[in-house]
């Protein structure tokens, strides 16, 4: 990993950058797991300008971009669970394919652990498709599969693992 790597908070003006990273990462990540129609549907639902504006305004200070030099190559978002404040929810983490498997994901998890500590969270939780190769990465980072769930989004049903990592005190 290069020393030029840094994490920067993303706001409304970074929405086009987030949309481009999503477009580049989703097709490579989900082809073979989801149909092209499902990928396009989810990109349209979750990465429209309107949706991202609402999400960024609702969860202020919780959307971040990853940069190498001046090039944005990834993003992630998280928030504290409203029902259980001991849980931080990692809602999104995506890297452009050529930046994957270079240690950046590990840096994001370390960043999240630090942020979780600041708000007294004891766990980090996420959903991941049962067929996503990222499961092995999450396991290496200390996440465990807590349960399986079917998630209905529009006309599609998705089969996910809910994974959780307990943080050290």
pLDDT tens readout for residues 25-77: 999 899 989 999 999 999 999 999 999 999 998 877 799 999 998 899 999 99
Q: pLDDT digit string (tens) for 132-153?
A: 999 999 999 999 999 999 999 9
* pLDDT value at residue 82: 86
Range of the domain at 21: 5-166
| Distance, CA of 167 to CA of 169 (rounded, Å) | 6
pLDDT score, position 59: 78
CA dihedral 82, 89, 163, 29 (to 10 degrees): 140
pLDDT of residue 134: 93
Q: What was the pLDDT predicted at 61? A: 74
Q: Rounded to whole angstroms, how far apart are CA atoms 154 and 41?
A: 9
Give 134's contacts (C-beta < 8 A, 6+ positions apart).
Answer: 29, 128
Strand partners, 6: 67
Asked if residue 24 has pLDDT above 70, the reply is yes
Tokens 């609702």 found at: 58
The Cα 151–Cα 6 span in angstroms is 33
The pLDDT value given to residue 2: 45
Q: Are 95 and 106 in contact (CB under 8 A)?
A: no
- Say how far apart CA 77 and CA 111 lie, in whole Å: 12
Mean pLDDT of 139-168: 95
Q: How many residues does the chain have?
A: 169
What H or E segment, with its residue span, contains residue 40?
A: helix 36-46
pLDDT at site 3: 54
**Is residue 39 within 8 Å of 92, Cβ to Cβ?**
no
pLDDT tops 90 at residue 81: no
Q: How many domains, the chain?
A: 1
Q: Please provide the average confidence, as pLDDT, over all residues in the chain.
A: 92
Q: Residue 63 has what pLDDT?
A: 94
* CATH number of the domain that residue 39 is part of: 3.40.630.30
Q: How sure is the predictor about 1, in pLDDT bands with cuts at 50, 70 and 90?
A: very low
Q: What is the pLDDT of residue 137?
A: 96
pLDDT band with cut points at 50, 70 and 90 for residue 131: very high
For residues 73 and 21, is the Cβ–Cβ distance under 8 A? yes
């Amino acid at each position: 990993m290069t020393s030029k790597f840094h994490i920067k908070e993303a706001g409304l003006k970074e929405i086009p950058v987030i949309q481009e990273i999503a477009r580049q990462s989703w097709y490579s990540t989900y082809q073979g797991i989801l149909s092209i129609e499902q990928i396009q549907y989810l990109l349209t639902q979750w990465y429209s300008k309107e949706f991202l504006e609402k999400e960024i305004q609702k969860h202020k200070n919780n959307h971040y971009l990853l940069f190498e030099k001046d090039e944005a190559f990834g993003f992630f978002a998280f928030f504290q669970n409203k029902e259980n404040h001991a849980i931080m929810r990692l809602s999104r983490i995506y890297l452009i394919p050529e930046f994957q498997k270079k240690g950046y994901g590990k840096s994001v998890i370390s960043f999240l652990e630090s942020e979780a500590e600041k708000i007294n969270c004891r766990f980090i939780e996420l959903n991941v498709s049962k067929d996503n190769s990222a499961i092995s990465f999450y396991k290496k980072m200390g996440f465990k599969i807590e349960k399986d769930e079917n998630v209905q989004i529009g006309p599609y049903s998705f089969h996910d693992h809910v994974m959780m990592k307990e943080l050290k005190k």
